[in-house]
Amino acid sequence: MGASELISMGISALIPPNEATPEQQYNWRLRIGIAVCLLFPMFVAGVAGAYGLVPGIAGFARATDLASVVSEIRQNRLGELDNRILDLRIKHCDAKTDEAKQLYWAKINALISEWRALTGLPAYQLPNCTDL
């Protein structure tokens, strides 16, 4: 028996025949009533579980959970930006030509702009070349 036959049998069980006797119609109504009575509590339980109303089931993400994830991602990104800025600053200080220094400085400025956007702070303190 194929999947399409199973689906058609399931659908035909939900639709009463056109020439149904009163007994067949009663049986059909009974099947539909039982199905509704069984499916509705399962639906309510699923919704309650999804909204975290059932103990032991987490439900949807809460705003505090989302805020902590966003904060952690932001901290990771800031750490990555700090490392990249420091690496570029070292290359900038070690560069021999003016073109190379300008290239590194342009990349440093772009990363500092992103750092400012993430932190909201006005300035990023670059280390001096003598300190590196």
Among 37, 38, 41, 13, CA closest to 27: 13
Q: Does residue 91 lie in a domain region?
A: yes
Do 33 and 76 lie in a common domain? no
Position 38 scores a pLDDT of: 94
Q: Does residue 124 lie in a domain region?
A: no
Distance CA 90, CA 132 (A): 7
Reading the block at residue 55, the tokens are 């103990």
Position 17 scores a pLDDT of: 73
DSSP letters, 70-118, are HHHHHHHHHHHHHHHHHHHHHHHHH--SHHHHHHHHHHHHHHHHHHHHH
Do 40 and 70 lie in a common domain? no
The number of distinct structural domains making up the chain is 2
Over the chain (132 residues), the average pLDDT of each successive run of 10 is: 82 77 87 91 88 76 77 91 91 90 92 89 84 76
Do 74 and 114 lie in a common domain? yes
What is the pTM (predicted TM-score) of this model? 0.54
Q: Does residue 90 lie in a domain region?
A: yes
Domain that holds residue 9: 3-50
